[in-house]
Amino acid sequence: MSQESPAQHQPPFEVPTVEEMDALLPQYAFEKLAAFGGMGAVYRARQVSLDRPVAIKILPPEFGRHEDFADRFKSEARAMAKLNHTHIVGVYDFGITKEGHLYLVMEWVEGQTLHTLIQNGSIPVRKAASLAMQLCDALAFAHHHKILHRDIKPGNIMISEDDQVKVADFGLARPITGEVEENPYGTPDYAAPEILGKGAVDQRADIFAAGVVLYEMLTGRVPQQPRRSVTEFAPLSPKWDELIDRATHADPARRFQDVGELRAHIAMLINQAAQAVKVVAVVEDEPKAKAGLKPPHLVLIGAAVIVVGIVLGMMFRGESPQKPDIASAPPKAEEPVPKPEEKRVVEPEKKAEPVVVVPAPEPEMKPEPAPPPAEKKVVVAPVPAPAAMPEAKPVETPKAMPRQETPAEVIQRLDEKDAELAGMVMDFAAQWLANTELDTTSEMQGLAEKYIPALQRSLSGLMPQQRDFVLSEISHIANHEPLDEPDALWPEVLKTLRKAYDAQSEAIQGRASTAAQKMRAEQCELVLQKARERAAAGKEEAAKRAELVAGELAKLKTAPSMKALRESVAGAARAGAEPTAAAEPVR
């Protein structure tokens, strides 16, 4: 579980053999020396009692000889054993051998270290982002439990066969106290300046190391001074440089203050890159579709113009009366005169015959052939036709209007329809995560840490049934479960303690709710401002989309995100209520 290989380097201390470790810890069957580094060695072994593979890390004996260090190691090992998280290697046991080696028994992970993965070749940006976000999840959980890793580096990050991160080697971990770093242990390339300078250290030191690890995944090398841009090694957005600059800033006050904030910014960059790819794909496909339709349109239009021209020309020249001659037996003597014209139009006339047959009823009135001038009048009669033509130009048939998307459909496809608004929502999500006033976890944890001891002190002198009520309350608080409603049979001391706990809990939640309302109103106002700008530019449809998004943001009860918006409109659709298209709640 370290990036050094026992075959390539000499151990920094006298590492016991597998046989010697069997004698020191007989409850484990040691199989091999897996790795070693400056702070210890790691073995693969099997826990005999449970028949499961484990990793056992030992520290050099000199650490065990220092009583203060050994006591702190034991205290921190107990704390690490509580870090039960998907992306953290579990700690099963700890202790000290008779030779003075402090040891940790941990979960064995089948896979390779991130160091090996980086050395084997470049990591695609989406995979690098996924691994970095999993690392952030692990650190966020550890930081929530007041544990600082202090030695984040690719050699301490295991990657399972299904690309799941497992953060290992909490051997240098310590509680987050903000105290001065007296012993600047760790790997210099990943250590924050305050560690190397023996300054005050907190969770921002782990954030610095995570930023260095992200840079190494994207470029294949650790950063040097001055640091080269990630764009020199891969076709990436310069925004990755901005993110890494902030994560690894020499001044802790100018870094991300919370690892969740770093995670949100990584997710935002990946989402923006995905949206850019979709936009490029749409722009490239659109001209091809138009080009494919153009030639058939020209052919059809040209054919239609020719046919209509022939028909109108024949009508206006009075040639339509010749049509009865097709049905009459012998042609008249006067008919040879127009034959040259017939010869010219004989081919088109056959094609247009179904259209020209419309005036056919007029020749059937030839049972009165006596007045030939009447026939001439029939020819003259169509003269008003040109005046009638303009009346026929307007198409009376109404065109089918395209179906308007419902507000729910607009929200579901917002990242495709309006990348600008989708980007604003993702920015809001990052701001939400970065606002410490909204996170009540630490305050509620602190309140629980005061409430549980008070409940434990109240147990003395209580009757068995009364003790059961108090023990149930302790269990619910410790396991983050909903609390029981106060009961008339509760002892008075429990009623008093619960009343005080509820009052303080409501105060914490109230402050967070007020901060959330303020931030939500500010974010909605930004979207409404965007709607006003679009309306002023004549972009009515885009303005309506912005108003819709503002209205939906105002209705959220959770942190803003595209997922939260989609779930909100989907829930409204299932309930039969259409999402609002205006942002009334923020006025």
Catalytic residues: 151
The alpha carbons of the chain give a radius of gyration, in whole angstroms, of 41
Contacts 24+ apart (CB under 8 A), 124-131: 125/218, 125/234, 125/236, 125/270, 125/273, 126/270, 127/163, 128/214, 128/217, 128/218, 129/266, 129/267, 129/269, 129/270, 130/163, 131/157, 131/159, 131/163, 131/165, 131/217
32 strand-pairing partners: 44
What DSSP assignment string belongs to 371-388?
Answer: -HHHHHHHHHTTTTHHHH
Residue located via tokens 């040109």 = 386
Answer for the pair 342, 326: CB distance below 8 angstroms, yes or no.
no
- Is the N-terminal amide bond of 486 cis, ω within 30° of 0? no
111 strand-pairing partners: 160
Answer for the pair 447, 508: CB distance below 8 angstroms, yes or no.
yes
Q: Phi and psi of 422, rounded to 5°?
A: -60, -40
Q: Provide the H-helix boundaries in 381-418.
A: 385-392, 407-412, 414-417
Instruction: Give residue 77's Cα distance to chain centre.
Output: 35
Q: Residue 471 corresponds to which tokens in the numbers above?
A: 């023990």
